[in-house]
Each structure stands twice: as structure tokens, then as C-alpha cells.
Amino acid sequence: MHSLSRRWVPLVTAAAMALAGFLLYRTLSRYSFDQIVASVGAVPLFRLALAGACAAASYLCLTGFDYLALRYVGRPLSYPKAALASFTSLSLGHNIGLAFLSSGAVRYRFYSRWGLTVTQVAKLILFCGVTVGLGMTALGGSALLLRPELAQKITGLNLLVVLALGWACFAAVASYLVVAAFVRRPLKIRNLSFETPPLHLAIAQVLVGSANFAFVAACLYQAIAAVADVAYIGVASVYVIANTTALISHVPGGLGVIESVVMYLLPQADLIGSLIVFRVVYFLIPLALGSLSFALSEIALRGRKLSMPHKGGISS
């Protein structure tokens, strides 16, 4: 089994790196070079800098997902290790699609070499997935209740339905915290057993998950605000709808889905340039950096494996 693993892991690694490169090419090839340059150039430098800062803050929050999850599974690692695994896996997973599987495979590649079992990695991935859901639910509920008339206009729903959905979002988050506080019986899925996290970790999930999506929406807002007079809450509402659609469709990076939803819900402005900027800042730059960090980590791992027999020979 071990020799088989040594044969297929390099193939999977090479395939993942090739796919990341292909996705980077395919996304950029949808636009001409002049179009990309003109779109980025139309965004004021301070808006571009703020969009980049918001994207960086979002990925910083995402590293917190893994840092908390490692404590949940009882295998706390140093923050640099959690940050490396988180950023590399999610920068690739956001673009590849089916993030639960794609980022999960990269996470397993990192965490298995640091001593985590398959079960522990599965629990870690589930914990991070729940954190994503909590963050989106909290942001969606806030957007619905803070600007119900705008949400009504965007969704076409009755005002009472919008308010009910907003309160339902907060009720769902509150219910999770109550379960974390009082329920200690594990949830069993086939042969796996998932325990509810302690209350302090559950609260941290809500906070870091909400902050993550707030920063992503802020990144999109900075790009759109360069060409349209829009409010942050309005952009956040649209982003929740677009991101939910992208998650359901499992399209790589929400490719075309986010653009279509945003342009449909905000038809009063020419937003293609802003959306290109958002995609470059939030998806493509992290994809390039994540591919590089993945390649370097594989080279470093390969070097350590090659040096181990040599060291053993000297000591004997």
C-alpha cells in the first residue's frame, strides 16, 4: 500500500498543479490583454489597494478556520503550518470548484505529513465547512435585516418574507451556539463520529466566518464602487446571493456565475471591468501564489525524502 501511495501521489500533485495553471489561463483568456489592462486601469489606485487589502484580510480569516479546526480535532499545530495548509488549499479550491473535495485533498496532503489521520482531516474539513456556512448565514441575515427594502428589491420577495428570512438566519446561528453549549452527544455519519465543538470554539467560528465573508464583500464593493454609486450592504446582499449560487453550481471559482448574478441584480452600471478586477484580486492572484506555495512545498518534501536515506547511511 505504501509503495502504491508513493506512485500515485506525485501524479495527483502534478495533475493538481497542471489544473491550477489551466484554470489561470482559461479565466484570463476570456478577456483580451487590453481589456484587462483597461479594466484595472479604470479603477483608482486607492480602490485597488483597498480591494487587495480586503482580499488579504479574507484569506487571513480563512487561515483562522484551520487554526480553530486543528484545536477542534485535538491536534493543534503552529499557526504558520495552519496558515500554509489553509491558504494553499483554499486558493486552489476556490478556483478548481467542488471546494469541499479539491481543497480537502490539498489539506490532506499537508496534514497527513504532519501526523493527522484520515478521520482527523475529515473532521477538520467538516469543521471548516460549518464555519463557512455560519459566516454566510450571519452575513446574509445582517444584510436582510439592515436593508430589508434593498433585499426586497433584489430578490423580489415580500418584505415580511425578507424579514422572516433574516431572523431565521440569526436563529440558525444562535441554535448552533446553543447546541455547542449544551449538547455533548456526537453526531454519527456511517463510521465517523463528529463531536460538537466547545462553546468558545463555536463562538470563534461565527466571528471568523462572518469576518471572512464581510471582507470578501468589501473586496467586491471596492471594485464596484469605482464605477457605480452603491452601498456596502447592497453589495454584500448581492454577493451572498451570487456566492450561494456559485456554491450550489460548483463552478470553478464561481466562473461566470458571480458575474452573471451581480450584473443581473445591478444592471444600472457597466460592471464588467470591476468584476474582472475582483476576480483578479480575489481569485487569480491567490491562485498563482497558492500554486507556487504548493509547488515549493512539494519540492521541499521531495528533498527531505531524498536526504533521509543518505543521513541514515552516515549514522550507521
The pLDDT tens digits along the chain (316 residues) read: 344 344 554 555 555 556 555 555 655 566 677 766 776 677 788 998 999 999 999 999 999 999 999 999 999 999 999 999 999 999 888 777 555 566 788 898 899 989 999 989 999 999 999 999 999 999 888 888 888 887 777 667 788 988 898 899 999 999 999 999 998 787 776 676 778 999 999 999 999 999 999 999 999 899 888 877 788 887 888 788 777 655 554 444 444 556 666 666 666 666 777 888 888 899 889 988 998 998 888 888 777 766 665 544 443 3
CA distance 219 to 59: 12
Are residues 246 and 258 in contact, defined by beta-carbon separation less than 8 angstroms?
yes
Domain-embedded: residue 18: no
CA distance 251 to 233: 25
CA distance 36 to 275: 11
Domain-embedded: residue 308: no
Domain-embedded: residue 81: yes
Collapsing DSSP to helix, strand or coil, 16 comes out as helix
In this prediction, residue 236 carries a pLDDT of: 83
Residue with cell 456511517: 190
Q: How many other CB atoms are found less than 10 A from the CB of residue 124?
A: 25
Beta bridge partner(s), residue 194 = 187
Residue 309: C-alpha distances to residues 305, 314, 315 (Å): 8, 9, 10
The secondary structure of 91-154, three-state, reads HHHHHHCCHHHHHHHHHHHHHHHCCCCHHHHHHHHHHHHHHHHHHHHHHHHHHHHHCHHHHHHH
Residue 187: C-alpha distances to residues 122, 133, 174, 240 (Å): 14, 18, 19, 28
Our CA angle for 110, 62, 255, nearest 5°, is: 95
In this prediction, residue 18 carries a pLDDT of: 60
In this prediction, residue 4 carries a pLDDT of: 39
Please state the length of the chain. 316
Residue with cell 454577493: 239
Query: Model's pTM, two decimal places?
Result: 0.80
In this prediction, residue 213 carries a pLDDT of: 92
Cell of 62: 480563512
Domain-embedded: residue 177: yes
Long-range contacts of 298-304 (CB under 8 A, 24+ apart): 298/13, 301/113
Closest CA to 283 of 219, 221, 229: 219
Domain-embedded: residue 94: yes
Domain region containing 299: 35-303
Domain-embedded: residue 28: no
Collapsing DSSP to helix, strand or coil, 82 comes out as helix
Domain-embedded: residue 4: no
| Domains of the chain: total | 1
Domain-embedded: residue 268: yes
In this prediction, residue 167 carries a pLDDT of: 94
Residue 51: C-alpha distances to residues 92, 265, 290 (Å): 20, 21, 19
